Structure 1
Amino acid sequence: MLFIVLVLVLAALGLLVAALITANSLWAWISIGLSVVAGLLLLFDLLRRRKKRAAEAPAEEAAEEAPAEEDEPAEGEEKKPEDVEQTVLMPAAGELGDAEDTPEPQQNGDPGEEKSDPADVAVVSELEIEVVVVDEYPRYHVTSCEWLETRDTIPLGIGEARQLGFTPCALCTPDAEIAGKHREKG
């Protein structure tokens, strides 16, 4: 299919060049027609592939579910210890005493959220100091944050970052640092 589209596009290009050289508008219209046919073929191929993938997806899901049913023990048969699911209990926030001040590790490698002092939040909300964010992560950071290392950053004003829903990083504590520097200046 792609080979046919390539041939049609090359033919359209040749006819367009011929139309420009001879100043004949008929060749230009034929070139446009061939380009439209090539586009329609590409669209048809795209729709055909999507339909094929949609038909294959339920078959793959059924194949994945079938082995899971085989793992269940037969009637009268007991589950082996390695078959039993285990639940791991984690302490709730604040149950560890002093550990509340340490950053919460996140599953995706993102540092936890800074527990900002309300006074610091009030100060930084009025400032337009620049902080940085990383695409796909919910925290904003000062530029010297060690978590940023080799990540691509996007500079934003701290007020804008807060309005967009970003929260402060627990490693570099931008709210406390920026509010502290602002108080020293003022």
Structure 2
Amino acid sequence: MLYIVLVLVLAALGLLVTALITASSLWAWVSIGLSVLAGLILVADWLRRRRRAATPPASAAASAPEPEAAGSQAPVEEEQTTLIPASGDLGDPADTPEPEPAVEADASAETETKADSEPGVEETPEADVAVLADLEDEVVVVDEHPRYHLRTCSWLGARDTIPIGVGEARQLGFTPCATCTPDATLVAPHR
């Protein structure tokens, strides 16, 4: 069906070009007719496919093999179902164990949380921003974090870093780290 529609559309296009070249309205109307015919074929094909998908194939149900005698075939494993108890059959509340009290986090876990928190943003004067745009000095970024840092930043620790130029980092939307102050450090030699 789709090949027929393709041929009709190409013929309609050819007739439309012919109508434009010869200035004949007859070819234009024939082109429109072929386009409408192609559209009707597409709609008919869509309806036929939709109808076929809606009705279950009767041949599949009829061709399903019927079980043979029990002695001639290996036993079929039956599916086990798990029963959910009714609302009143949940058991005695005294039989359920008490939940263990939560262990309080120690100071090391608290330190890790602080180390994982994002450092603040360094405030950079407008004059320094103009200088930074032209610099090609390298800073590092950490994937999934919005700050750029100097390689010596204490916040980085053992994180995997990605080297990038400071101007490019700013263009990509990264902001300077308040811990290592990369903007002030990089702009200082250029003042």
Q: TM-score, normalization: structure 2?
A: 0.36
Structure showing greater Rg: 2
